[in-house]
Amino acid sequence: MNARKPRRDQCTTRAPLRLPLLALMKARLAKILLACALLLAAVSWAKPGYIDLDIRLANQQGGGAFWWEQHYSELAYADSPGVSYVHRQVGTAYTDRYGWKTSEDALAFFEQQLATRGWRRVEPAGSDPSLPESRLLSPANLRRYISTDRPDAGVLVAVWPVGGSVEGFHVVLTTTNTSLLKRLSAGLD
């Protein structure tokens, strides 16, 4: 029998891989880590950044919470990309429970609480869409604060008398934090 040698281009066996297995694993691991980093960045980009200030006040005499209303919303403008994340809290302070005799007493309390958390007061505290009451109240009833380490974050506090035969004050505290897209857009302007 005349056995023919297969030609070189007809060989059925492959040459061994030139890359060691360890190098191949490192390359795959790098791709997996890059994919995880991109996924984490995408999640943090889309995650709302609400600021929740924990200013605790004693419950009302009947046992109800001071902050009896709160909600989270997004404030967007038609001509600007991104949003501001707004956390709004509403409470009522009765003078016999909290000892505040004037709106200024209540505003001083919140100023002290915010200062200990790294917020500083800025002026003016006029009309702001994150606090609709600011359009109706006197500037004497409003305070605006910015964070000492995040100038794009803000706090607004509004205090005004309940009125009538009730001695107390309505209190509204809102925090705003701009989205990453809004910050990037502002940086390009």
Per-position pLDDT tens, the chain of length 189: 566 665 655 555 555 555 566 677 777 777 888 877 777 766 555 566 899 898 988 887 777 889 999 999 999 989 888 899 999 999 998 888 888 899 999 999 999 999 999 999 998 777 889 999 999 999 999 999 999 888 789 999 999 999 877 788 999 999 999 888 887 877 665
Contact (Cβ atoms closer than 8 angstroms) between residue 67 and residue 88: no
102: which residues sit within 8 A by CB, 6+ positions away? none
Q: Which residues pair with 119 in a beta bridge?
A: 147
* Nearest residue to 181 via CA among 37, 47, 53: 47
